[in-house]
Structure 1
Amino acid sequence: MRERKEKDSLGVVSVPEEALWGAQTQRAVENFPVSGLKPWGAFVWAMAMVKRAAAEVNGRLGLLDAEKAGAIAQAADEVLSGKWDSQFVVDPFQAGAGTSHNMNTNEVIANRATQLLGGEPGEYLVNPNDHVNMAQSTNDTIPTAIRLGVLWRLEELLSVVDGLADALDKKAKEFDPIVKSGRTHLQDAVPVRMGQEFGAYALAVHRDGERIRRAAEGVRRLGIGGTATGSGLNAHPEYHARMVETIQRIAGFKVYPSDNLFESMQSMADLADFSAALRTLALTMTRIANDFRLLSSGPSTGLDEIRLPAVQPGSSIMPGKVNPVLAEMTNMAMYHVIGCDTTVALASQAGQLELNVMMPIMAHNLFEMMQVMIGALKAFTEKCVVGIEANRAQAEGWLEKNAIIVTALNPVIGYQVGAALVKESLAKGTGIRELALAKAQAGELVHVREDRPVSVAEIESALSDLRKLTEGGIVK
């Protein structure tokens, strides 16, 4: 491989001849061969957005030569388009705060801008520090870029969440005629409608989407212009406000100026809050996926109340076996999201004084959480939820065997007599309705409050329409 020589404050460094990165990036590549991971596209885009806006703002403030500002802006636009993704090569496990990420961006844009001005990589007609990084520090560009990267994918994420909630709601309406056995503690409980189960799933996902929207509002506050510690040293007094306005115009989404640049530098709480909202959705999705696996278990020896789409063979040895693979995938994806959130939380509390140096892993994990959540929920919705079928006969068959529907007789015969009926029903293998009617006909049931025999009509009224038991109130 042919190389060129570059020099930084520590000395001479060999860099691949065709690379757009420079000496500091090369040092980071050599110093941190940790995971083989590269920055997520959202992070590359967001860093380029900061540099693109800064070139325009500094140029308009008369601090940056118009030719250089134009070249930087054009180079940054190319990065924004994804043209130079291969040039962003620094491992997320790296020097604290993200100096290596920042310099990777500065060097790629500086070398590309140099090419646009007729020079060669390493010649630096545009300087990475003095020009591309003008009025900036790693300490304000990295937290700003994390926020912008989150916002860049926010609508995509929310669209997937809303799509899942809508799909579950459609199933709720489709399944509403089916009355089935409720279950608490994994034991028989009073009846519910399958539509009520799915409607609750839909609303839970919708509410988690609202939590994400709320948390994203805090992410919209940008601390760009705080430079090294929040004081704004080396930045024009108008730089912060102009940067926020310029980023909003170019990026096309709403952002706000920080009301305290020191807080924006010290605190990663907005990002931890957003991460926690994703974690909450992951917890909800874990529960729903687990329920799907349980409700579809069998089909011969499980609950078998719903049928999930068969998308692939389930066993290399057992012919004909089909597994709930989309639900299983969702479980694993959500466990990964929860693990990423734990890292974000620990990194967030690790800030010291004016800076949090754990930002690189926070950035990586936040963008990974969003990627995994988007991909997992999209697949779960399209390949599982929309194709779910209810096994009505099985669901209603289980309900017929459920002695706990005796709960509807509590206002008539009382709790203790009802408990005795359940015990006898289970021992004899007789349905509760059949047993209660026989005892009423024999005059063996006494009204709990009126000291008189319970009539057959009262038993029929309480138990003949099990759908009424799903609608609340006192059954008469």
Structure 2
Amino acid sequence: MRTEHDALGSRQIEDKYYYGIQTQRALENFSISGTTIADIPSYIDSLLQIKKAAAIANHRVAALGDEQLSAIVLAADEFIHSHKVVQFPLDIYQGGGGTSTNMNVNEVLANRANEILTGKKGYESVHPNTHINMCQSTNDVIPSAMKITAHRMLGDLEKALLRFAADLGHKQVEFADVVKLGRTCLQDALPLTLGQQFSGYRSAFERSARHVAEVRSHCLELPMGGTAIGTEFGTFPGYKEAFYQALSKNTGINFQPEPNFFDGLQNADFWISVSAALKTTASLLNKLASDLRLMGSGPRSGLAEVKLPAVQPGSSIMPGKVNPVIPEMAIQVYFRVLGNDLSITRACEGELELNVWESLILNCFSESSRLLIECLPLFSEKCLGKLIANQESCAQSAESSLALSTVIATLFDYKTASDVAKKAEQDGKSIHQVVVESGLLSLEQASELLDPKVLTSPELFHGLYRGKLHV
């Protein structure tokens, strides 16, 4: 055990831990959720990269000695590459705008740097506040680390979305010739191909990937250098420029200072935009999953347009029942993202010169991102990849639809088409049968113009309409 002191007193710390008294107090105060700051992908690494770049910058402006710099950089690199999760145990829910998290990292690096220089933990040669936190404040460190973390996670989400869109594109090609009945307001509408329907899904997820990429680009602007409230007080001349040079060199990413540090520290509306991109993605996933549940309903008394792959038995009492469990999982992801979006929106309200709810913002953002990053490839593997079109059922529904009367409205007028649809409904006949029996079209004309496949392509229909079958 070793004893550490602060303004409130002292605490004994097990010597196997590199963190210190402020981390210990935070453990006593905030351990409620079971989710720690180390559970957020890349968050600790982002904080360590910031501390490493700050040390390099402070050395460059002659505020930090050679040995101190060497020890701090070595300590940071060790933890970046070793992921000693036990050293960063704080609950993600914490008051103080993330001060506990910032001090956790400061203490870990200071104790390890001292150990490197002196052979023992302590703060004689490197102090957590004086040296590790030099030219910094929790208020610029935490939001900057959040943005670096988000840049990495949104990059992973963008890749997942592009792969998912490509998988939808494969199904679009596979289903190109499967004609089915379109539905609006859950009622029969004009026919389209299953491939055309999937082209809509593909296009939407490609658009979502572009949306994610756009908000990700704004993660490159950081408030580092603003210190406590945006005035840059506490920094040395040349520090800010040196910091961004070091951070960009070390990460290979061109980070820049935000145009207005006061804005960067006061306002968190950026995270509403990020959350909106996640919510949009989740909403599209929900739409696709919900559609597949409907299209795969049955198999004998539902739409039965597609057959979802069976991945597990569907009932503990009904043999042979298979449930759409993968789409249902995805829909629940959507619900969770919606809840996180509301929490992020409220947490972005803040007050005066600082937003102190950033830990919650990060937790909600991270959870939504991880759920989507994990769900998309699983959805492709377990559902999309082995999805089968029921061509016979699709064709039967398309050919029997009263919506084919739209062809008659196009060729004649709406009243004539309405009469045809009404008679077909009353007599239990198809539109094809009624128009031939009534003499509106010959058998040849009806067979060609009322072919559902023709209605899926304006070029095919226009060619027939303007050619020999013009009426």
TM-score by length of 1: 0.93
What is aligned with 1:426? 425
What is aligned with 1:38? 36
What is aligned with 1:449? none
Q: CA deviation at 1:353?
A: 1.8
Q: CA deviation at 1:271?
A: 2.4
The 3 A distance-change label for structure 1 pair 82 and 150 is farther
The 3 A distance-change label for structure 1 pair 369 and 357 is same
The 3 A distance-change label for structure 1 pair 352 and 68 is same
What is aligned with 1:388? 387
Task: Show structure 2 runs of 5+ residues with no match.
Answer: 466-471
Q: CA deviation at 1:174?
A: 0.9
Deviations 1:334-378 (A, max 9, x none): 2112211221111112x2221111111111212222111101112
Asked if the contact 1:403–1:426 (Cα under 8 Å) also holds between the matched residues in 2, the reply is yes
Deviations 1:372-419 (A, max 9, x none): 110111211222212211111111111122111111111233222222
SS of corresponding position for 1:387: coil
What is aligned with 1:466? 452
Kindly provide the amino acid, as one letter, of the partner of residue 355 in structure 1: L
Kindly provide the amino acid, as one letter, of the partner of residue 373 in structure 1: L
Kindly provide the amino acid, as one letter, of the partner of residue 347 in structure 2: A
Asked if the contact 1:146–1:363 (Cα under 8 Å) also holds between the matched residues in 2, the reply is yes
1:18-167 alignment runs, 5 A limit: 18-39=16-37, 40-167=40-167
Q: CA deviation at 1:244?
A: 1.8
Kindly provide the amino acid, as one letter, of the partner of residue 3 in structure 2: K
1:26-425 alignment runs, 5 A limit: 26-39=24-37, 40-349=40-349, 351-425=350-424
Asked if the contact 1:92–1:360 (Cα under 8 Å) also holds between the matched residues in 2, the reply is yes
Q: CA deviation at 1:242?
A: 2.0
Asked if the contact 1:106–1:128 (Cα under 8 Å) also holds between the matched residues in 2, the reply is yes
Most deviating of 170-179 and 34-43: 34-43
Asked if the contact 1:25–1:104 (Cα under 8 Å) also holds between the matched residues in 2, the reply is yes
Q: CA deviation at 1:123?
A: 4.9
Asked if the contact 1:96–1:359 (Cα under 8 Å) also holds between the matched residues in 2, the reply is no
Q: CA deviation at 1:256?
A: 2.2
SS of corresponding position for 1:276: helix
Q: CA deviation at 1:17?
A: 3.0
SS of corresponding position for 2:114: helix
The total of aligned residue pairs comes to 460
SS of corresponding position for 1:192: strand
SS of corresponding position for 1:225: coil
SS of corresponding position for 1:14: strand
What is aligned with 1:10? 8
Identity %: 37
TM-score by length of 2: 0.94
How far apart in 1 are the matches of 2:274 and 2:124? 39
Kindly provide the amino acid, as one letter, of the partner of residue 209 in structure 1: A
The 3 A distance-change label for structure 1 pair 53 and 283 is same
What is aligned with 2:468? none
What is aligned with 1:448? none
**Cα RMSD after superposing both structures:** 1.7
SS of corresponding position for 2:385: helix
Asked if the contact 1:409–1:462 (Cα under 8 Å) also holds between the matched residues in 2, the reply is no
Task: Show structure 1 runs of 5+ residues with no match.
Answer: 446-453
Q: CA deviation at 1:269?
A: 2.2
Query: Which of structure 1's runs of 4+ aligned residues deviate more than 4 A?
Result: 454-458
SS of corresponding position for 2:192: strand
Asked if the contact 1:222–1:244 (Cα under 8 Å) also holds between the matched residues in 2, the reply is no
How far apart in 2 are the matches of 1:161 and 1:188? 31
Deviations 1:71-114 (A, max 9, x none): 11111112222432221111121113100111111111111222
How far apart in 2 are the matches of 1:245 and 1:385? 45
Kindly provide the amino acid, as one letter, of the partner of residue 294 in structure 2: L
Deviations 1:41-66 (A, max 9, x none): 32111111111111111112211111
Asked if the contact 2:398–2:452 (Cα under 8 Å) also holds between the matched residues in 1, the reply is no
Q: CA deviation at 1:218?
A: 1.6
Q: CA deviation at 1:70?
A: 1.2
SS of corresponding position for 2:197: helix
Most deviating of 196-205 and 372-381: 372-381
